[in-house]
Structure 1
């Protein structure tokens, strides 16, 4: 099947969350849109993540975009028919350094965004082993999104809108002003937005190189935990070292210094040990981080065992069973976002810090404003 050359206002290349967010924003502005995706459905970072919109732990532009994105997630969940829960995230403190980091965050953000919890209150929200708990915090603005359904539901909603074409299994070979060359023929539009994440170097290698783009590989697990109920996302001290609003605290810096001596394996693998629960009750557990322009193809069983052991210790359980293992991959640069105006009619967009689910719906309006 060849594609039609009838022009549209906007072509979006990539039907992951970032691309779909741009298509949704364009539809709401009354534009005609063609979405081009090389696969028959979204199978990348948009479905391999935690389903956690981590809003409160961001800073700067990422925080502003996350807050804007939050409202759109709630609206589109209702429109497109997938679950978005305002259940927040619980960050547990199992050391004095972690408790200090949460105290600093609460003081900077206020009780409406960060509610400090006693150990008993934390256990009531998240079934953690309470022997080491020094306290916790509830990040009230965070959302839980059904990541296994969201992209497909958004694509179905878009396909039903006037002026929208969804072209699946259609690889893009090249782009230029007003033109996208695909394996099925040429497409034309007033503007083209490339939302292909870490694969930007497959289409525009010089743009990716100029941004210093690398790939970040994650190891993640799906675990069966009979009888466990976990509504909010569950974050640990490792999360405090990765999310900027916490990583910048004195408590987090002290924790990092101690772990250099006592837990170097967590720092070496850049572990962000956190959990979310799928609708069927299984836990999504992760994650480790490895960076390279070209990633090694191997997964590490040692890292999987580390994640499993950390989860068993956190929950006080020895009956967790691995259901699935996978590697996620996302684009990485020094900043949170890549927005490159390649030519007057072509813009490349990537979320480059692993917060695509958190910020995509806030990012898309800024991009469309810039090319209006």
Structure 2
């Protein structure tokens, strides 16, 4: 009997961060888990990102709690899986008085746990360069890994430490209760979780259509080592109207109005600034947001120029040379995620907010608990 002919407690379709998170949650319950993926290696949104596990600024309520729990899980598993946590925290700078007012209001909410305000003169190494800022919200609860290596190492650790079986280069063609049809033949599993990312057609397309899920394309760059070090990722005013933990506060409206007047082109292309630093000193910088059922694969130079324009304003210096450019796509819809039960013992799970690295572990624990009729696992208060 081949591995694919054996019966598993759980089969997970998709080896991105969402699929791996579900595999971990089930394996921690002692379940025999199989993960199937059509690609030979991690290739999608899970590796085409910042590796930034963002807690601060996530949407109030369950999404923020999922992010807090996910950051805890990352911290728990990283040493065992050989994943280096390269940066901790967040420096959310305010370039405008309206941004400072919004961040001060955020600090009065329950979401500001682990956060404080720092005036510009107190930022020190958190913001090298000569950018003109009024100060920043400094957080300690976020973290950053190198997604290109973290995802493969997480998968390898799940295999060696938790006995999760991986079968790559295997396409799943259809799913029914207790059975999957794959390019390598049938698979039997008591429970099945489909985590297809932004493949909106192959499995359960009617559910994606009903939820009006589309795809979002982003552009990102890697810049050469600037000669200084960032202890924490850096964001700026443009992010305050995209991240709902800030954007849903009433104090966001004056900032939004000013940005529409002063940076309309940035808003048109969905640009906000995130800057993180890798072990070799290089900077990962982005990003932009364009939406379509099938986004074109081409990166636009004018969009990259707008991203780098915000970099210059925040850091007060020309950007280092560009080493790499890339695009990524992810499933996008209103709300944080699509979680459905298309049939008994089957779940469809897709994060639709571009926050898989930040929230998948918390979400997966909820889904697995529901599938096995257990209390929710470990959700942080």
TM-score (norm: length of structure 1): 0.95
SS at match of 1:97: helix
Partner of residue 62, structure 1: 63
Q: Which runs of 5+ in 2 are unaligned?
A: 373-381
Deviations 1:83-136 (A, max 9, x none): 125620000011100110110111223874221001022242121424x21111
The number of residues matched between the two structures is 370
Whole-Å separation in 1 of the counterparts to 2:248 and 2:114: 17
Deviations 1:33-60 (A, max 9, x none): 0000111111111111111111121111
Partner of residue 290, structure 2: 290
Greater shift after overlay, 225-234 or 189-198? 225-234
SS at match of 2:88: coil
Partner of residue 234, structure 2: 234
Partner of residue 375, structure 2: none
Alignment of 1:21-170 (within 5 A): 21-58=21-58, 59-84=60-85, 87-109=88-110, 112-130=113-131, 132-161=132-161, 163-170=163-170
CA contact (8 A) 1:225 1:319 kept: no
CA contact (8 A) 2:339 2:349 kept: yes
CA contact (8 A) 2:95 2:314 kept: no
Deviations 1:154-200 (A, max 9, x none): 11111114542110111111111111111111111001101111113
Whole-Å separation in 2 of the counterparts to 1:72 and 1:92: 27
CA contact (8 A) 1:87 1:142 kept: yes
CA contact (8 A) 1:332 1:352 kept: yes
Partner of residue 367, structure 2: 367
SS at match of 2:101: helix
Deviations 1:192-226 (A, max 9, x none): 10111111322221111111110011011111133
CA contact (8 A) 1:13 1:193 kept: yes
Q: How far does residue 346 in structure 1 lie from its aligned partner after superposition?
A: 1.5
CA contact (8 A) 1:36 1:170 kept: yes
Whole-Å separation in 1 of the counterparts to 2:286 and 2:163: 39
Whole-Å separation in 1 of the counterparts to 2:26 and 2:200: 22
Whole-Å separation in 2 of the counterparts to 1:340 and 1:154: 26
SS at match of 1:198: coil
Partner of residue 345, structure 2: 345
Aligned-residue Cα RMSD (Å) equals: 1.6
SS at match of 1:87: strand
Whole-Å separation in 1 of the counterparts to 2:217 and 2:146: 22
TM-score (norm: length of structure 2): 0.93
CA change 1:345–1:112 in 2 (3 A) is closer
Q: Which runs of 5+ in 1 are unaligned?
A: none
Partner of residue 5, structure 2: 5
